[in-house]
Structure 1
């Protein structure tokens, strides 16, 4: 079973990151694909465009966003395929670009993936 951790994509890549997967729908500003050092970019597991635009990183909407996003993830059922593709990874680092690390969708992705393992 893989250990899942979170990291901002702007932090320096490390060999300790394991499998590095970007979970944002949009490419991070100011970062070249070469410097991202990604193993995968999974846009589909990111929040829908509608949900992302509604939330707009407003901490006051965090609780409602979390519930709506978790519902989206369960309804899409993408997590089982994600875990199956990465079943041989010891460590998965979910990468995200958001500045607000306490109100970031990657927290919900991690929680979701750990709940369906």
Structure 2
């Protein structure tokens, strides 16, 4: 089973990152492609604009955001095919720009990807 890690886009790339995937819908401010060095920009795995705006990166909104985002992932053919592509790699690092390392969509996405790997 693939190892799925998460990392802020502002942290340096390393060899241990494996396949690096930007999972934000918008390109992070102040980051060049050379510095970020993503192997893939998976906009299709990002939460909808509506979900993102409702969440507003507030911890008190996280559980309802989690439920909505998981529903979006489960109902998306694009997310399913991207999941299969990502899980074909030994190590995948999901790159996100949010400030909070515990309260962000990459945490939810990592858990969803791992559940997809277990189900297959």
TM-score above 0.5: yes
Shorter-chain TM-score tier: over 0.9
Which blocks of at least 5 consecutive residues in structure 1 are unaligned? Answer: none
**1:86, distance to aligned residue in structure 2 (A):** 3.2
**1:87, distance to aligned residue in structure 2 (A):** 4.3
Structure 1 moving runs of 4+ over 4 Å: none
Aligned residues: 117
> TM-score, normalised to structure 1's length?
0.94
Tell me how large the CA RMSD over aligned residues is.
1.2
Equivalent residue number for residue 43 of structure 1 = 43
**2-side partners of 1:11 and 1:41: how far apart?**
17
**1:51, distance to aligned residue in structure 2 (A):** 0.7
**1:34, distance to aligned residue in structure 2 (A):** 1.2
> TM-score, normalised to structure 2's length?
0.91
Task: Tell whether the 8 Å contact from 2:44 to 2:79 is kept in structure 1 after alignment.
Answer: no
Equivalent residue number for residue 30 of structure 1 = 30
